[in-house]
Amino acid sequence: MRLVNVFFIVLLLLVLMVLGNLYLTNHDLLMREVVVFGESIKLQSVILITFLLGFLLNVLYTGIMEVVRLVRGLNDSADTRLVKRISERAQDARDLVAHGLPKEAREILEGILEQRKDYIPARLLLGEILLKSGGPEEAVKVFESICRDDHDQVEARYQLAEALMAVRNPEASAAVLKKLAADHPKKALRAWRRLRAIHMEGRRWEEANEAHKKLLSHFAAELTQGERAQGSALAYQVGITKVEADQFKDAAQIFQQVIKDEPDFVPAYLSLGRCMILQDQEAQGLEIWLEGFRKTGEGTFLQEAEDYFIQLGRPEDGLALLRRVAATSKHATTAKFFLGKMLYRLEILDEALDLFQEVRSQVVYSPILFFFMAKIHSRRGRIDAALNEYRQLLRNLGILKLRFECAVCGHRVQDFADRCDSCGSWNSHHFMFKESDLPEGPIRAESGNWMAML
């Protein structure tokens, strides 16, 4: 027998003893009668009835609670079964979407929503289907209602932003994303990326740049190298908007920063130089172009300088500049070529040819160089020399080797192939040889007349 049971039996005996003692010592008192609602009842009966009543009430209450709990449990399990069935059907709908059957998926989802109007996965999927199958206005409504019902639905807010883009409301879309980024700053990587893309699409460079700065400051580790470099491009575009608004000083500052961040960003040098020249600082502007050329070896700077001086009607200044660069630059070959090209443009042919010949041995690829030389030779009546340069030009272009062209993508190759390497089309290679179309109508109208003469 367990100690606890012994203890309870002892306790029970004790209580009975106390009660027995109380009954015996107060026997006379308990046998006396009291009046309850006009009836006289013995006191001991009153105590007994009260006790029994309390006991009964207790049993009744416990019983009722037990029944309630049972019913609730049954309901719950029915509910769980329903939820399970619904989520299975939602999965079916998802599979149908994946297999390109949005209409069938939509029917299932609408069935689910008839049973449970607030089932968010089904509403989300329905919105996605609407968005993809040409119902962006309805999709906006669906996503808006989800966002209203549940503020923490991040996915629904992203989808809402997409749907708003689809109904050509980029401002509202951007507002949704901005709010999302503010509410969930730790999950905002996607929101800022999307914002940057939306603003870039709308050519709102300042906003795009802001979004990019947010990305840089909060998610630097998650950005790719290329993505980080986008910052310079966006800042550059902001600079261009300043130029368009005639704010050359602000623009110049931005371009300088871009060059500092990315010393080989050619467009920034070009634009900064133009900014300086537009502010009547020609010497500084030209110096920036030359600086860009020093850093990158990119011929476009020399072209820009040449065009600038020719447009101003000061070709001799342009020539002087190019001569100086050709004599001092470490990219002397490129500089000499551009000097030669400018001389050619100004009809100073012999000096141009001298330069081209000097450059020629250093150049691996430049069809235009051979073209200029051929032109000068033929102008001077040296036909053999000219032909020789044209031959070089053809070889340089390599077009004689590429004899087959893909009719689908235009890719040219040396040998015929059954399938295009570039676009993957079959039977698309044609030998590059086209007959001219035959003239329309009877080829020889006079033949009829000749027949009639017989």
Binding site for Zn ion (CB under 5 A): 406, 408-409, 411, 420, 422-423
Which residue from 419, 449, 415, 420 is spatially nearest to 432, judged by alpha carbons? Answer: 415
For 226-295, the DSSP string reads: HHHHHHHHHHHHHHHHHHHTT-HHHHHHHHHHHHHH-TT-HHHHHHHHHHHHHTT-HHHHHHHHHHHHHH
Q: Give the Cα separation of 163 and 251 in Å (integer).
A: 36
Report the residue number, 275 or 420, with the smaller CB distance to Zn ion.
420
- Among candidate residues 233, 171, 160, the one with its CA nearest the CA of residue 202: 171
Q: Which of 383, 351, 387 is nearest to 371 (CA)?
A: 387
- Exposed, middle or buried: residue 95 (CB in 10 Å: 0-12, 13-18, 19+)? exposed
CB of 426 vs Zn ion, minimal distance in Å: 10
Return the number of the residue (215 or 420) whose C-beta is nearest Zn ion: 420
* Residue 401 Cβ vs Zn ion, minimum distance, rounded to whole Å: 18
The nearer residue to Zn ion, 334 or 428, going by C-beta atoms, is 428
Least Cβ distance, residue 403 to Zn ion (angstroms): 15
CB of 365 to Zn ion, least distance (A): 24
- Residue 133 contacts residue 105 (beta carbons within 8 Å): no
- Return the number of the residue (7 or 426) whose C-beta is nearest Zn ion: 426
Gap between the Cα atoms of 91 and 43, Å rounded? 72
Which C-beta is closer to Zn ion: that of 148 or that of 419? Answer: 419
Which residue(s) pair with 163 in the sheet?
Answer: none
Q: Give the DSSP H/E element, type plus range, for residue 38.
A: none
Q: Least CB distance from residue 419 to Zn ion, whole Å?
A: 9
Beginning with the edge strand found earlier in the chain, give each strand of the sheet holding 412-413 in spatial order: 412-413, 404-406, 429-431
In this complex, which beta carbon is closest to Zn ion, that of residue 117 or of residue 419?
A: 419
Find the shortest distance in angstroms from Cβ 154 to Zn ion. 42
- At closest approach, how far in Å is the CB of 405 from Zn ion? 9
Q: Which is nearer to Zn ion, 209 or 428 (CB)?
A: 428
Closer of 10 and 407 to Zn ion (Cβ)? 407
Q: Are 29 and 16 in contact (CB under 8 A)?
A: no
Give the C-alpha separation, 251 to 285, whole Å.
Answer: 14
Closest approach of Cβ 417 to Zn ion, in Å?
10
- Look at the alpha carbons of 109, 111, 114, 115 in this order and tell me if their dihedral is positive or negative: negative
Q: What's the CA gap between 202 and 409, in Å, rounded?
A: 30
Q: Residue 436 Cβ, how far from Zn ion at the closest point, in Å?
A: 25
Instruction: Give least dist CB 413 to Zn ion, A.
Output: 9
| Amino acid at the residue 102 | P
Nearest approach, Cβ of residue 422 and Zn ion (Å): 4
Q: Based on C-alpha coordinates, what's the Rg of the chain?
A: 46
Query: Judged by CB, which is closer to Zn ion: 80, or 427?
Result: 427
For residue 411, the minimal CB distance to Zn ion (Å) is 5
Give whichever of 349 and 409 is closer to Zn ion, judged by the CB atom: 409
Q: Write the burial class of residue 326 (CB in 10 Å: 0-12 exposed, 13-18 middle, 19+ buried).
A: buried
Spatial separation of the C-alpha atoms in residues 372 and 357, rounded to whole Å:
11
User: Which candidate, 163, 180, 171, 166, places its Cα nearest to that of 123?
Assistant: 163
* Nearer Cβ to Zn ion (111/424): 424
Helices (H) and strands (E) in the chain, counts: 21, 5
CA angle, 380 then 383 then 386, to 5°: 85
Residue closer to Zn ion (CB basis): 153 or 428: 428
